[in-house]
Chains A and B, each alone.
Chain A
Amino acid sequence: MIDLGQYAGTVLAAYGVSLALIAGLVWHTVAANARARRALQEFERNG
């Protein structure tokens, strides 16, 4: 186990906030892309 010493809260907060923001961005990007692809395919199929 890594010992972060007296700044454990600081380091974990920085990593937590950053990784949450990146995960949110990646999720939003992938979800929006899937939605757009589905909508376009549906329209092209049904006319």
Chain B
Amino acid sequence: MPGIDYFYPEFEVVRRDERCIRCRVCERQCANEVHRYDPERDMLISDEAKCVNCQRCVSLCPTRALKIVRSDCRLRENANWDGDTIREVYKQAASGGVLLSSMGNPKPLPVYWDKLLINASQVTNPSIDPLREPMETKVFLGKKPDRMTRDAGGKLVTDLTPQLELSMPVMFSAMSYGSISYNAHASLARAATEMGVCYNTGEGGLHEDFYKYGPNTIVQVASGRFGVHEDYLEAGAAIEIKMGQGAKPGIGGHLPGAKVGPDVSRTRMIPEGSDAISPAPHHDIYSIEDLRQLVWSLKEATGHRKPVIVKVAAVHNIAAIASGIARSGADIIAIDGFRGGTGAAPTRIRDHVGIPIELALASVDQRLRDEGIRNNVSLVVGGSIRSSADVVKAVALGADACYIATAAVLALGCHLCRTCQSGRCNWGIATQRPDLTKRLNPDIGSQRLVNLLTAWKREIMELMGGMGINSIEALRGNRLMLRGVGLNETELRILGISHAGE
């Protein structure tokens, strides 16, 4: 394509030569081939144009000789036409293509979690010390009956529709085998099992090695139906129908053929090397009554022994949509906010479609209560739950549990360079290249995930204890425990909370 497309690289590799011992770890570890040893000059040189700032080299350099900085070769300051926007125009002028990005929306849009503050007990009731008193975080997800029934002898009939039992209100959300590596999946599965929570297969099927983690696995059925068969449905603790994803509401997925090696091919039940394209909608679901049919088909197929989750992206009319799903027979609704991550999405969709999970959650929880159907379903929310404080705030707004994925891959080593779509993940997570996937040892990965959840659980207990609450149930929907700061009347009304000081 004619035209001058050269741009000074976005990042600069700063190498302090007085510290460099020529160990060449940076060179060996960079899948983007940024670093190269020049034997003639006995020095390491960099091709910064290839650098994605994943910090693998920085993390492994034994003498701390390396750092990556943002290049200061910029265009003239312009608050309207910022550098990234201009760069994207050039890129598209050169390629004619749709821009692709990875991970969650990085734009400076409001993060409502950071504008919510949590309460604590003072004087009128006691805070509780979780080190001395029991503090319960167990939750059951699933439909709760409206009416008790008793047998002829007057005893309560204690049969329940299937429930998903979690030791704490956090699960790993869907990431497919294909989009992430075998070792990443192994880490998630092992950690979920150890912690008594669940991980989620995503739409890539379930590798045969991981059937043993079934009781802690949510198996997903998405629009491409990749890897879906009877044993797969039977293997999981719950089945999730994926209608949408927060990072890319309204569109499907695309796993490039390059990532479809023999193992991924067998797991997804598609030919090796073929692109795995999930359609934008489920072509058997064009309306709510069609969803109801799929929900019940899956229940029939599994003998009504598995709760069915319906996952949707948080979009403008989410309260009405959730209300429809709550009447569809689904046991759990998972809502994914616009900051949710992805292995690849069109940039414009990732950055401009969908709404914040905080507002979606608040309005859905309230709508389901207004309709008297809140107990028909449990609510799971995801789309950038970053810490235990976010979990506590989500539960107080009305969530039964949270889904985390970005936090989980961070624990596995991800440095949020947002280039998963390249398939050259230096951390061995979002890649299928054997030399890269082996960089994630699941012994380490699962331990780090267990550590993360253990730490969050402790923090959740501390925050609950501070509020004088000793069971997570008593926090759920307890919006008096939240106050807003710097929010306008409309935001407060939607969140159903008062402003700090009120």
Do A and B come from the same complex? no
- By a beta-carbon cutoff of 8 Å, the part of chain B in contact with chain A is none
